[in-house]
Every structure is written in structure tokens, then in C-alpha cells.
């Protein structure tokens, strides 16, 4: 089970993580949480639900490339120069959906942090992270967001197979992020496989 998720009897998945892996995952999730931004903690739950339905989100895409990747335009896209109608439709869609998408991304990152904080790794053997099916869904969302964020910073494209990134010299400052990106991909892939078996 070390290094990859395996299915659990009755559903869910499990993986053994050592102290360093737990620390890296937690640090990345905290950074993602900070990037996505804080939630709105005002009012009681009933007021929050009603207010969230009518609260407008931003209408312009984020300037930060990572946030733009995490919160892409609904229409148009990078290969298309949108006209005024497409820009207006994208702005309207963003206005009504981005707050909810941000909240979900925050919840997924917090789920990662909370489950990692509950672990008590042994120096020699690490700790086994056991996830329920619902926790697996949160982890899949969180791992995907982490990979998107790192991949955007590394300027990974759809055509990249990771080989060129692996050939970076050890002295390249991007090398640790490349290794994290590839490791997260392995975790994500084995988590999906565990849920499908």
C-alpha cells in the first residue's frame, strides 16, 4: 500500500504515508487554501444559505494564472478570441458560479488537511490514511486542484508527458515541484483505480 491508494473492503481507499509525505501534502493543501481565499463567515447558517443564493461573484477572470486555471471561463477558452456576447455570457456564468466553486475547493482542501492532521505516523512505518467514499471524492477534488496549480506554475501543457520535466537537472529550482506534481498524479490515479475496483 505504500505510495499508492488501494481499495478498502466495503468502499473507500487507503494509503500509507510517512511523515515527510504527510507534511508535503498538508503544506500544499494549506497553500491552495490560501490561494483560493477565505470563505464568508458572517451570519448564521440559514442566513448564509439564503445570502449565498443571491450573492454575486466576480464577473472577470482572475489575473493569477493558477486561479484562472482553477476558475476558467465557461465560454471561449484560451484558443478562441471571444466576442462581446461570449464575454458577457462568461461574465454572467462566473458571477453566479464562482463563489460556489471556490467554496467547494476550500472544502476539499480542508478535508485533506483535517484527515492528514488526524494521522499519527510512526517513524519507521508511517501511518495509514483510510478514506470513506465521500472522503475519497474530496481527496480527488483536492489532488486535482493541487496538480492543476502546480502544473500551471510549471507551465505544463496537455502535450507534456512528464518526460521533459523529469530530465531537469537536480539544480533546477523547479525540480521539487516537478516531483510533487508527478507524485500527486500517481496518488490521484491510484485513488481513481481504487474507487473503480
pLDDT given for residue 162 in this prediction:
62
Q: What are the φ/ψ torsions at residue 16 (nearest 5 degrees)?
A: -90, 130
13-22, 39-48, 58-67: segment of lowest average pLDDT: 39-48
pLDDT tens for each residue of 105-137: 999 999 999 999 999 999 888 999 999 999 999
d(C-alpha 119, C-alpha 69), whole Å: 31
pLDDT band at 84 (very low <50, low <70, confident <90, very high): confident
pLDDT band at 42 (very low <50, low <70, confident <90, very high): very low
- The whole-number average pLDDT for the span 8-23 is 95
- Hey, how many other C-beta atoms are within 10 angstroms of the C-beta on 94? 23
pLDDT given for residue 83 in this prediction:
73
Q: Are the C-beta atoms of residues 109 and 33 closer than 8 Å to each other?
A: yes
Percent of the chain with pLDDT over 90: 56
Strand partners, 126: 122
Geometric angle at alpha carbon 12, from 10 and 13, rounded to 5°: 120
**pLDDT surpasses 50 at 1:** no
pLDDT band at 97 (very low <50, low <70, confident <90, very high): confident
d(C-alpha 155, C-alpha 55), whole Å: 33
pLDDT given for residue 77 in this prediction:
58
Coil, strand, or helix at residue 7?
A: strand
By the 10 Å C-beta count (0-12 exposed, 13-18 middle, 19+ buried), 34 is classed as exposed
Task: Output the average pLDDT for the chain.
Answer: 85
Between these two residues, 83 and 185, which has the higher pLDDT value?
185
Amino acid at each position: 500500500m505504500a505510495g499508492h491508494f488501494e481499495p478498502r473492503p466495503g468502499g473507500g481507499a487507503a494509503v500509507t504515508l510517512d511523515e515527510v509525505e504527510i507534511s508535503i501534502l498538508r503544506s500544499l493543501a494549506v497553500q491552495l487554501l490560501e490561494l483560493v481565499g477565505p470563505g464568508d463567515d458572517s451570519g448564521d447558517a440559514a442566513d448564509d444559505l439564503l445570502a449565498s443564493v443571491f450573492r454575486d461573484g466576480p464577473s472577470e477572470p482572475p489575473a493569477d494564472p493558477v486561479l484562472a486555471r482553477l476558475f476558467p471561463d465557461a465560454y471561449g477558452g484560451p484558443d478562441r478570441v471571444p466576442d462581446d456576447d461570449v464575454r458577457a455570457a462568461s461574465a454572467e456564468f462566473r458571477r453566479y458560479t464562482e463563489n460556489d466553486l471556490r467554496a467547494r475547493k476550500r472544502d476539499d482542501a480542508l478535508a485533506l488537511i483535517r484527515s492528514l492532521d488526524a494521522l499519527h505516523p510512526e517513524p519507521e512505518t508511517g501511518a495509514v490514511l483510510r478514506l470513506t467514499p465521500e472522503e475519497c471524492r474530496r481527496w480527488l477534488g483536492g489532488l486535482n486542484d493541487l496538480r492543476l496549480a502546480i502544473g500551471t506554475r510549471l507551465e505544463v501543457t496537455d502535450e507534456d508527458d512528464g518526460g521533459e520535466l523529469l530530465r531537469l537537472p537536480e539544480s533546477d529550482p523547479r525540480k521539487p515541484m516537478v516531483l510533487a506534481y508527478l507524485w500527486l498524479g500517481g496518488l490521484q490515479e491510484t485513488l481513481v483505480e481504487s474507487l473503480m475496483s
